Structure 1
Amino acid sequence: MSRFALAPLGLAIAASLSLPAHAQEAATNLDTVIVTGTRAADRTVLESTSPVDVLTAEDLRRAGVVNGELGSALQNLLPSFNFPRQSNSGGADHVRAAQLRGLSPDQVLVLVNGKRRHVSALVNTDSKIGKGTTPVDFNAIPISAIKRIEVLRDGAGAQYGSDAVAGVINVILDDVPEGGAWEASFGAHHTDVEPIDRTVTDGQTSFVSGKVGTRLGDDGGFFRVGLELKNREATNRAGFDQIPPWEQTDANLAVQGQRNYVLGDGATKGLNAWLNGKLPFGQSGEFYFFGTFNQRDTQGANYFRYPEGASNWPQVYPNGYRPISLGENRDTQAVAGARGQWGSWAYDASLDYGRNDFTYRLKNSLNASLGPDSPTRFKTGDYAFDQTVANLDLSRVFDAGGATHTLGTGVELRREQYQTGAGDPASYAAGPYTDRPTGSQAGGGLTPQDEADLSRNVVSAYGNVSSQFGERLSTDAAVRYEHYQDFGGQWTGKLAARYEFAPAFALRGAVSNNFRAPSLSQIGYEATSTGYDAAGRLTQGRLLSVNNPIARALGASDLKPEKSLNYSLGFTSRLGEHFDLSLDLFQIEIDDRVALSEDISGPALTSFVQDNFGVSGVQSASYFINAADTRTRGAEFVGNWRHALGDGELLLTGTWSYAKTELQNIVATPGQLLALDPDYVLFGLEESNTLTEATPRTRAAIAASWSNAQWSLQSRLTRHGKATRVFDFGGGYVPRQTYSAEYQLDAEVEYRITPKWSVAVGGQNLTDQYPDKSNEDIYYFGNLPYDVLSPIGSNGAYYYGRVRYTF
């Protein structure tokens, strides 16, 4: 039976077996009190004025612990969350970017225990999804440290500060005072790779985690600590090389028919550590602290360099070479604070420090301009971002006008700093062989002129109030003033309400405005690189900051902040203890969306830069722009049904999400570019495609779980919607392909041997589904048969086993 014929069978299994996708926790613990999106101390998921999903540690463990990736677990559980796997995508091979509601990765705010999480230092400039952003690195957050995650799917800039355009993801850490757990899993991909007609086993992944806690004193104090170790081997789904026509020399044709490229996940080794604790003092106060640490070494794929060509010396690589990028990622967050009661006011004062350091290296590379004696290993740059946040928050409850109100107010001081450091001199040197490309292949090193050192201060003051008017009406209102050192001040506000118009039926809605200043990296990052353009031809390019004189001469201007308006309207229902549902419609309008320009290339550019700035060999250039206004419209549905079955409990969950982004008021190509070449376009087909069609508009899942004292059976069938890729190769050659929707079936069986020991076996993508193969215009001469756009990825089926011990 073909894997496509198995999809209906998977649907039947999901309906008869096991566990939920999105909002499983919302299904099983609807009465869990939420802390995200409201000041009220007693609201549950369905009572929230804005849509909030709650995911438990058990949900996450079963959805993503088999590979230790929090981002993958969230994609499995949240239809609005997209976490695509990148390959041959530069920095995105090392730090994957996530999306919420189809928006950019830097338009979602991430909190840990309610405190702002820092972003990565590495700018994704070669990826499709998340291009031009420095996203939060979800995989640097230990999955074993999590008690639950609350996801607010609504604009929340007035409540939490800038960046909360698409929503807020609040990671709440494990605070059990005693006991612990140990867990180990091992899995691998076993799949039929159609382009090479082979069955392959690869991507072997081992993951071990442990955590333990102890009480501190007799008044509720505790200290909890954990550690995770992960090792993942690489995967490869590349096809057989047909050799591009412009590379077809006798020497190069000798490697025809080989797998010269790599398409898949790079090898990864990582360590995660975390701690969480509190220590009471005085009558009502407590000192709290928590932190996370991640050290991760990763590898990424790059295009093959053929034996005979300007980018190679046969004396070094007689059979050609494929550079391998190496990432050294170090990520730290440390938070300490005190909270308690001060008269009728509750206070919370905290200091939050986060830092990410990333060192980018290359091996199996070459600086061809240095000749046969060129090094083959390079450090191409250092990147660092750190963020310090000081916060004082006050709140109190009072009655007025026949209603109960919770008032919150506070101030926040934030300092951000972004730095880049030059690579090895050999990584950017222009050697004596002037007919050869300069710089290390697969990413020339940052030059001393490229180095950035930027910082800024952000001050904000806010107030919000959550009110309960009788049994039926509840509201949330918030206002914030935020002042950026480099962009001035901005007011944001939000008003949300929920009205229960009949028993078990309610309407909710919200309106808010949000503000996102361009990141420091979007303002100051510069890089010089030698690589392949979209058409597969070798080019030397520059990514220029908007302050660079060359960029100004090409029409660059100061970046403006993004401003947005969010509207939502929803319906919720809970019928007895068996059934609940929610349906929310939303619209997000964003003005002055920040994005990278198209790559500006050609002889006119090269001559212009040479003649006016004395810089030779620049074949392409790009810079950040306020590209367009966008409007995103969508809907999200969650339904849960639960009932006793046999000696256990059966839970069925259905979810669906839709988000469509359209461009409005696209930035015009500046006259400076048109004067060089009337065919130049500042923001055109490729980057428009990045914002609108490259992300699937729809995702849906049905899931089921049944469990009793000994057994837990679970299954989930997810439908990933279609996505479209557009290339502009120039000269009117604009290949386009829409990749159809794909179904993914996951299942797991867990058996509790004793109250402390359990074992599980399971699989993800059990029907071994793949995206559509790319057509001949896009698959790069057989080498890259699958695109990276589909969330199902191109790794095929994955099988795993797990053992767990709790104490």
Structure 2
Amino acid sequence: MNNPAYTLLATAILGALSATAAAQSAPEAKTLDNVVVTGVRGQERTALESASPIDVLDRQDLAKAGVLNGELGQALQVLLPALNFPRQSNATGADHVRAAQLRGLSPDQALVLVNGKRRHTSAIVNLEAKTGKGTNPVDFNSIPVSAIARIEVLRDGAGAQYGSDAIAGVINVILDDRAEGASASISYGAHRTDFKPSDETLIDGQSLTASASVGNAIGDAGSVRFGVEYKDRNATNRAGLDQLPFFENPSPENLATIGRRNYHPGDPKTEDLNLWLNSAVDVSENLSWYGFATYNQRDSVGAAFYRYPDSSANVPSVYPDGYRPDTLGDNRDVSLSTGLRGRAGEWNVDGSLTWGQNRFDLGLRESLNPSLGAASPTAFDLARYTFGQLSLNVDANRAVTLGGKDLTFATGAEYRRESYETRAGDPASYAAGPNTGSPPGAQAGPGLSPADAVDLSRDVFGAYAELSGDVSERVFGSASVRYEDYNDFGGALTGKLAGRFALTEAVALRGALSTNYRAPSLSQTGYRFTVTNFGDGGALSQVRLLGVDDPVARALGAKPLEAETSRNISLGLTARPLDGLSISLDAFRIDVDDRVTVSERIGGDALAAFLADEFGITDIASVNFFTNAVDTRTKGAELVVDYGTEAWNGRLNLTGAYSYAETRIRSLQATPAELLAIDPDYVLVGVEERNTLTTAAPTNRTVLSAQWQGAAWSWLGRATRHGSATRVFNFGGGFEPQQTYGAEWQLDAEVAYRFNPAVAVAVGGSNLLDNYPDLSSADINYFGNFPYDFLSPIGMNGAYYYARLDFTF
């Protein structure tokens, strides 16, 4: 542990202890003493007593996150240093569905639950994204913030407890189940920022969020709570002044674009409608029914690259001044769960059925297919993506006595049916027209062709057992084992041992060892598509993603995908040295073998000659495919300090949290002989993908917050330090520019006043210092058009101000 991060953690603990040594007795801190249901099946423990680190966020935390447009993913990033949720832009699908990382790992290596039931993922595959490239992550923003009672985040491998994908941890969203009362909220905000690249003061990103929910008792037997949430957000634009790329024709028409803001990096325009329900009813003395559901409809408008007036990508009679296509997202997300739980003899039994589906329609407007000439449409349906997941679960637990110790035994089984389907776009979106000197397909597309459409499905079966309890007055332990079988990848046995040893009444050690498993998603095994991306010299070109079973991919050395496996180890210390003060410090290491990644773009004259000679293909500039080429190791540590006390006739809570996670590549698969035979300079995994896995996400974040709640007034202040991140590009020809964006501080604040028990108003701001990441270098800013990179979690939108009105009845 010879690392400055660990020195900082130790210093922080000693500082917290000395700073509060003279503090008077106060009520216990709320966060680490919250009772949680995640982490050990069949029994509840507090977060501080858990054998693995757990964060608990309640509805008040989420409401005061001060995030724009009520985004759940953004709220999680604000409140959890271990979670990264960058605001990607000009990245096609990633503009519409954003991916989150836990502990710097891939977005598909964290398992998301709602009320303890597995949540389905999104359907669209992010191929032009930096974060989560090649994944279809869970869409956090499809879950309404107003529906949430609390969120429990287990920061530890938990595959043996909850199933595949839980390599980095588990995020369990608990829905609001209050049986009485109604609540409503409306907020409005906007960005106001001094934008240095164009020397302007910009006001944009206006956001309106309105929500309401009501709870009703169902006689004496149960309750139902349901709600609605509406969100509308305008786009932001942080484009610089165009300098005209050197590979574009320096004609008078193109030269006239210099000095204009032709591009549109920033947040997309979005409009969301959410509906939700959470209910439970006692059927008999020992049996109750429950059901919950969420529904989200999101319409969004993203941005694509500008096409210049005098270029092969334009038809001047259609767009005499050039054009910038808009990407259109029509995202429908629905999840339904129902079940019965009760007592059967000595057993507590829960049986449930959950169905979830995400359907994403991708379109374009203000575009064209240049190969069709003036007859080309200017709007296109590019593709439909649909992912469905049906889960049947039976879980049971009971008290047992072993060796004179009272323990809890839990067991269960799960059957899961997953399906993935893609449908072709409009024929004009992928057609190659008569204008052979112009690129085929819709610009900023092209559409999915019938030959690339797939219809895939698989069956998954899993069974687990867990034994946990206090094995002595000072020792708590748990042991879990799970077998999971995929009909397309076979079976795997995973296990976890976790324990907590109380050194004193105030101090305890905890630790865990686990193995975890993640099968490649259906999209990673069968998805194929053609996208627009950077090519040689930085120009845009078409890149084709091939399935690993495609004859071309096999000829280039692609192999059938294997499942990812991991070995997790964690060791932590928890302490309650004073009333009101709680501390947890956890170090961890995660080794992941056979990580699923996207290969390097393989192109150039050698590939063109090979494809023409062997397959008669002449219209592919470059290709890539999924691989298991990388083994990684992630090491880190996390510190949480909570202190609560009575002060100034109210309640004061101080929180400090720090997360450090560094990923390195342990081994890299050699470039296949098939590729080297075509060109000895080809590599399987290039610098861009290695950067994505290791240094593109900040290695550390610090969040310091102070919150005071009085009878009528309350205030919140939060300072966040986002660590540095590095961007690497490969523009071909050995030109691989990189830049490290330094750490940035962000200041957020909110002041609220409650007029009476029913009405409260709040005003606040996020990034009040109007900070931006470092300006991108000339090698990376794409000829002045992208002055800032989204890699830093502070984003590139600047300061945001808002007001909120809350009603409680």
Greater Cα shift, 524-533 or 588-597? 524-533
Kept after mapping to 2: 8 A contact 1:439/1:529: no
Q: What's the counterpart of residue 715 of structure 2?
A: 713
2:693 aligned counterpart, secondary structure: helix
- Cα displacement (A) at 1:65: 5.7
Report the residue type matching 1:222 in the other structure.
S
2:536–2:732 contact (8 Å) kept in structure 1: no
Specify the alignment match of 2:538 in structure 1: 536
What amino acid is aligned across from residue 41 of structure 2 in structure 1?
A: R
1:731 Cα deviation from its structure 2 partner: 2.2
**2:66 and 2:750 in contact (8 A); partners too:** no
Aligned pairs (5 A) from 1:442-453 = 442-453=444-455
C-alpha distance in structure 2 between counterparts of 1:279 and 1:517, whole Å: 37
Which amino acid is 1:249 matched to? S
Q: Which amino acid aligns with 1:793?
A: G
Given residue 242 of structure 1, which amino acid in structure 2 is its aligned partner? Q
Map of 2:105 onto structure 1 = 103
Partner residue in 1 for 2:782: 780
Residue 233 of structure 1: aligned partner: 234
1:229-288: CA deviations, max 9, x gaps?
010000011000000112122220011111000110010011011000011112121000
| In the alignment, structure 1 residue 126 sits paired with structure 2 residue 94 | no
Inter-CA distance 584–737: structure 2 relative to 1 (3 Å threshold):
same
- The one-letter amino acid paired with 1:227 is V
**Is the 8 Å Cα contact of residues 308 and 321 (structure 2) preserved in structure 1?**
yes
Q: Do the aligned partners of 2:368 and 2:442 also contact (CA within 8 Å) in 1?
A: yes
CA distance in 2, matches of 1:427, 1:581: 57
Q: Is the 8 A contact 2:66 2:766 kept in 1?
A: no
Equivalent position to 1:146, from 145, 148, 153? 148
- Is the Cα–Cα contact under 8 Å of residues 421 and 451 in structure 1 kept in the other structure? yes
Aligned partners of 2:66 and 2:764 also within 8 Å = no
Q: Distance in 2 between matches of 1:710 and 1:386?
A: 47
The residue type equivalent to 2:387 in the other structure is: F
- Confirm whether residue 160 of structure 1 aligns to residue 165 of structure 2: no
Q: Is the 8 A contact 1:68 1:230 kept in 2?
A: yes
- Corresponding residue for residue 136 of structure 1: 138
Equivalent residues in 2 for 1:750-789, closer than 5 Å: 750-789=752-791
Q: Report the AA paired with residue 88 of structure 2.
A: Q
- The 8 Å contact of residues 304 and 321 in structure 1, kept in 2 or not, is answered as yes
Q: Give the AA of the match of 2:323.
A: Y
Q: Out of 580, 605, 608, which is 1:606 matched to?
A: 608
Q: Hey, what's the Cα distance between the residues in 1 that align with 2:68 and 2:698?
A: 25
Q: Following superposition of structure 1 onto structure 2, how do residues 229-628 of structure 1 map, counting pairs within 5 Å? A: 229-247=230-248, 248-533=250-535, 535-628=537-630
Query: Structure 1, residues 3-29: CA drift from partner, whole Å, max 9, x if none?
Result: xxxxxxxxxxxx9xxxxxxxxx99425
Distance in 2 between the 1:587 and 1:30 partners? Answer: 23
How many angstroms apart in 2 are the aligned matches of 1:427 and 1:652?
Answer: 55
Decide which moves more: 206-215 or 533-542. 533-542
Deviation (angstroms), 1:668: 1.2
| Superposed displacement of residue 606, structure 1 | 2.0
> Unmatched 5+ residue regions in structure 1?
1-14, 16-24
Query: Are the counterparts in 1 of residues 31 and 642 from structure 2 also a CA contact under 8 Å?
Result: no
How much does 1:743 deviate? 0.4
Q: Counterpart in 2 of 1:11?
A: none
Looking at structure 2, the residues matched to 194 and 507 of structure 1 have their Cα atoms a distance apart, in angstroms, of 50
Q: CA–CA distance in 2 between the matches of 1:282 and 1:304?
A: 64
Shift of 1:533: 3.5
Q: 1:78 aligns with which of 71, 77, 80?
A: 80
1:185 deviation in Å? Answer: 0.1
Offset, 1:31: 3.4
Q: Residues 61 and 703 (structure 1 numbering): CA distance in 2 closer, same or farther, change over 3 Å?
A: same
* 1:223 and 2:224 matched: yes
2:738 to 728, 736, 739: 736
Provide closer, same or farther for how the CA distance between residues 535 and 585 of structure 1 changes in structure 2, counting only shifts above 3 A: farther
| Equivalent position of 2:95 in the other structure | 93
- In 2, Cα distance between equivalents of 1:218 and 1:750: 36
Distance in 1, matches of 2:671 and 2:690, equals 14
Is the deviation greater in 551-560 or in 33-42?
33-42
The separation in 2 between residues aligned to 1:396 and 1:307, in whole angstroms, is 71
Note the C-alpha offset of 1:64: 4.8
- Is 2:66–2:748's contact at 8 Å kept on the other side of the alignment? no
Residue 530 of structure 1: CA displacement?
4.0
Post-superposition offset of 1:201:
0.4
Q: 1:583 to 1:607 in 2, by over 3 A?
A: same
* Other structure's SS at 1:163 match: coil
Q: Partners in 1 of 2:258 and 2:85 — Cα distance?
A: 34
Which structure 2 residues correspond to residues 665-676 of structure 1 after superposition, within 5 A? 665-676=667-678
Q: Give SS of 2:211's match.
A: strand
What SS is found at the alignment partner of 2:48? coil
How many residue pairs are counted as aligned between the two chains?
783
One-letter amino acid matched to 2:344: W
State the SS of the aligned residue for 1:67.
helix
Match of 1:691 among 693, 706, 709: 693
* Residues 344 and 396 in structure 1, CA contact (< 8 A), matched pair in contact too: yes
- 8 Å contact kept, 1:179–1:212: yes
- Which amino acid letter does the alignment assign opposite residue 731 of structure 1? G
Please say if residues 441 and 531 of structure 1, whose CA atoms lie closer than 8 Å, have aligned partners that are also in contact: no
* 1:713 Cα deviation after fit: 0.5
The whole-number CA distance in structure 1 between the counterparts of 2:568 and 2:28 is: 24
Runs of 4+ in 1 over 6 A off after TM superposition: none
Matches of 1:89 and 1:32, distance apart in 2: 39
- Which moves more between the two structures, 247-256 or 795-804? 247-256
**Separation in structure 1 between the aligned mates of residue 114 and residue 204 of structure 2, nearest angstrom:** 34
For 1:462 and 1:355, the matched residues in 2 are separated by 26
Following the alignment from structure 1 to structure 2, what is the Cα–Cα distance between the partners of residues 618 and 365? 21
What secondary structure does 1:63 align onto? coil
Is residue 736 of structure 2 the alignment partner of residue 749 of structure 1?
no
- TM-score with structure 2 setting the length: 0.96
Question: How far apart are residue 615 of structure 1 and its match?
Answer: 2.5
Q: Flag the 1:208–1:534 CA change in 2: closer, same or farther, 3 A.
A: farther
Cα deviation, 1:301-346, whole Å, max 9, x if unaligned, reads 1111000011001000000000110000000000000000001101
What residue is the counterpart of 1:173 in the other structure? 175
Q: Which runs of 5 or more residues in structure 2 are unaligned?
A: 1-15, 17-26
- 2-side partners of 1:534 and 1:466: how far apart? 58
- The TM-score, its normalising length taken from structure 1, stands at 0.96
* Aligned mate of 2:798, from 796, 799, 803: 796
Q: Which whole-Å deviations, capped at 9, do the CAs of 1:601-648 have from their partners, x for residues lacking one?
A: 112212222332222210010000012100000000000122211201
Structure 1 pair 51/664, CA: closer, same or farther in 2 (3 Å)? same
**In structure 2, C-alpha distance between the alignment counterparts of 1:721 and 1:32, rounded to whole Å:** 29
Give the Cα–Cα distance (whole angstroms) in 2 for the partners of residues 29 and 553 of structure 1: 55
Conserved 8 A contact 1:437-1:530: no
Separation (CA, whole Å) in 2 of partners of 1:534 and 1:545? 24
Aligned counterparts of 2:209 and 2:748: Cα–Cα separation in 1: 19
Residues 672-726 of structure 1, C-alpha deviation per residue, up to 9 Å, x if partnerless? 1112211111102111000000000000011101111111100100000000011
8 Å CA contact 1:26–1:53 kept in 2: the answer is no
Preserved contact between residue 649 and residue 710 of structure 2 (Cα < 8 Å): yes
Deviation at 1:531, TM superposition (A): 4.5
Residue 66 of structure 1, CA deviation: 4.5
Alpha carbons of structure 1 residues 65 and 181: separation in structure 2 relative to 1, 3 Å? farther
Residues 58-67 or 575-584, more deviating: 58-67
> What is the alpha-carbon distance in structure 1 between the residues aligned to residue 345 and residue 179 of structure 2?
28
Instruction: Give 1:441 deviation, angstroms.
Output: 0.4
Q: Output the CA distance in 1 between the equivalents of 2:28 and 2:529.
A: 45
Contact 1:181 1:211 in 2 (8 A): yes
Report if aligned partners of 1:26, 1:45 keep a CA contact under 8 Å in 2: no
- Secondary structure of the 1:371 match is helix
2-structure distance, mates of 1:30, 1:671: 54
CA distance in 2, matches of 1:473, 1:739: 45
Give the counterpart letter for 2:448 in structure 1.
Answer: L
